[in-house]
């Protein structure tokens, strides 16, 4: 089973094998954590994303990390919150699942997640944190999973509290 940890930090400064980017469907960069990751990784990241032709909501793709202090960036596209009855929870769980599956296939040992969908996309942080923790526990309890360390990187105190609460519940 992997070790799960909550930290308050800027994800672009974290040294792990893979960082997850909360991207949009175009994969061509945006605001929030996406903008920060592209700025820190350098223009090579956009050049690596462009030929991928986008990514569907709930899915994930992997690129090199260029100037970031890690090996890979895993770009996933979270759901836009529209009240909760539009399979937002299922789509968010699918993001975590696909990121972990890709990481596992690339023999990633340590991975850092931002709070996918919890910024501009408006997913409420408490249910989102519960989905994040449960999805990771679910995936990493598989016997052959390469991932040994999962960091939930929070940009603010409320986000951190939500993750700490979700971790205590499981
Ligand atoms: P989304 O469009 O999926 O909602 P956002 O980037 O708007 O993505 O926000 C996702 C989460 O990432 C929010 O909690 C936001 O505060 C956080 N965030 C923004 N910049 C960073 C960063 N540099 N490191 C870690 N988290 C960040």
Tens digit of each residue's pLDDT (9 = 90 or more) over 56-95: 999 999 999 999 999 999 999 999 999 999 999 999 999 9
Exposed/middle/buried for residue 35 (C-beta within 10 Å: 0-12, 13-18, 19+)? exposed
34: left (phi over 0), alpha (psi -120 to 50) or beta: alpha
Give the helix/strand (H/E) hosting 167. Answer: helix 157-169
Ligand 1 pocket, 80 CB below 6 A?
no
Domains of the chain: 3-169 (3.40.220.10)
From ligand 1's centre to the CA of 33, what distance in Å?
4
From ligand 1's centre to the CA of 34, what distance in Å?
7
Q: Is 157 a catalytic residue?
A: no
What is residue 15's predicted lDDT score, i.e. its pLDDT? 97
Which of the residues 9, 34, 104, 157 is marked catalytic?
34
Helix (H, G, I), strand (E, B) or coil at 48: helix
Question: Would you list the DSSP string of 77-138?
Answer: EPPPPSSS-SSHHHHHHHHHHHHHHHHHHTT--EEEE--TTSSTT---HHHHHHHHHHHHHH
What is residue 58's predicted lDDT score, i.e. its pLDDT? 98
pLDDT in tens, 108-144: 999 999 999 999 999 999 999 999 999 999 999 987 8
Ligand 1 pocket, 118 CB below 6 A?
yes
Ligand 1 pocket, 116 CB below 6 A?
yes
pLDDT in tens, 27-58: 999 999 999 999 999 999 999 999 999 999 99
Ligand 1 pocket, 4 CB below 6 A?
no
pTM for the structure as a whole: 0.98
2 pLDDT tier (thresholds 50, 70, 90): confident
């Amino acid at each position: 089973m992997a070790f799960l940890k909550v930290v308050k930090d800027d994800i672009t400064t974290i040294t792990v094998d893979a960082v997850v980017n909360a991207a949009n469907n175009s994969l061509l960069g945006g605001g929030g954590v996406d903008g920060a990751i592209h700025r820190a990784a350098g223009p090579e990241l956009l050049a690596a994303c462009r030929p991928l032709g986008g990514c569907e909501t709930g899915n994930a793709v992997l690129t090199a990390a260029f100037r970031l202090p890690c090996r890979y960036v895993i770009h996933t596209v979270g759901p836009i919150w529209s009240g909760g009855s539009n399979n937002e929870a299922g789509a968010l769980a699918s993001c975590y699942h696909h990121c972990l599956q890709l990481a596992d296939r690339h023999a990633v040992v340590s991975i850092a997640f931002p709070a996918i969908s919890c910024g501009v996309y408006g997913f409420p942080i408490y249910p989102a944190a519960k989905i994040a923790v449960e999805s990771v526990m679910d995936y990493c309890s598989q016997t052959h999973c390469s991932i040994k360390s999962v960091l939930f990187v929070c940009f603010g105190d409320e986000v951190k509290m939500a993750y700490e609460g979700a971790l205590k519940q499981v």
